[in-house]
Amino acid sequence: MPPSDRSPSGSPVGLAPPRLDEIIRGRGVSALRVVVRGWTPAAVAAAIEDLSEEDQVIAFRLLPREVATDAFAYLPVDVQEGLLRAMAKEDVGRILNEMSADDRTMLLEELPAAATQQLLNLLSPEERAVAVKLLGYPEGSIGRRVTPEYVRELKEAGYDKLTAEELVELRSQGVSPRLLKSLGGRKQK
């Protein structure tokens, strides 16, 4: 089917996307991976958000690592917190270590200090150093919201003259430098 015949979730237009809860109850690991192939991280997150907390945890264990990590960043903070409480420490550590630094910072700044410290302890030494540095910036500042790596990638993509507000907006919308580069054109100011 041509891409134009598909919805943002990747399912054919006019057809209801498969219900993840039914796939999970059937323990369809391969079916779940096939169903979400081609879905955007936001679409995966939306589908997971509609599941019970138990099914959310199962879905995250069944999803490919990269898909789970990318989708996690799009979940509301309360859903992220519920998943973190329900998942094994190894799973939580893996997700946190693989999240982008700025997405992880946005999550950590929403949590109580004791919970943040517990999660920081699950990070690798390198990722913990990055997280502590970002959390050291004043709350709501550009330093907490947009990492140097993200800015460097934007510069390489030709978008080096963005304002702080534009950077925060792009990051909050999940726009990656690779996406901007693939769209062509350069931001001129």
Of the pLDDT bands very low, low, confident and very high (cuts 50, 70, 90), residue 124 is: very high
Of the pLDDT bands very low, low, confident and very high (cuts 50, 70, 90), residue 123 is: very high
Phi, psi of 150, rounded to the nearest 5 degrees: -65, -45
Which segment of 50-64, 131-145, 147-161, 170-184 scores lowest on mean pLDDT? 170-184
Q: Please tell me which of 8-22, 38-52, 157-171 the model is most confident about, judged by mean pLDDT.
A: 38-52
Burial category of 120 from C-beta neighbours within 10 Å (exposed 0-12, middle 13-18, buried 19 and up):
middle
- At residue 149, the pLDDT reads 67
Which segment of 70-74, 141-145, 164-168, 181-185 scores lowest on mean pLDDT? 181-185
Of the pLDDT bands very low, low, confident and very high (cuts 50, 70, 90), residue 28 is: low
Neighbours of 183 (CB within 10 A): 9
Residue for token digits 């997150």?
45
- At residue 7, the pLDDT reads 46
Query: Does the structure show a pLDDT above 50 at 1?
Result: no
Of the pLDDT bands very low, low, confident and very high (cuts 50, 70, 90), residue 39 is: confident
Neighbour-count burial for 32-53, b at 16+ CB within 10 Å, e otherwise = beebbeebbbbbbbbbbeebee
- At residue 19, the pLDDT reads 75
Q: What is the pLDDT of residues 86-116, one digit of tens each?
A: 888 888 898 899 888 878 888 888 888 888 8
Mean residue pLDDT of the chain comes to 75
User: What phi-psi label fits residue 63: left (phi over 0), alpha (psi between -120 and 50 degrees) or beta?
Assistant: beta
Query: Does the structure show a pLDDT above 70 at 184?
Result: no
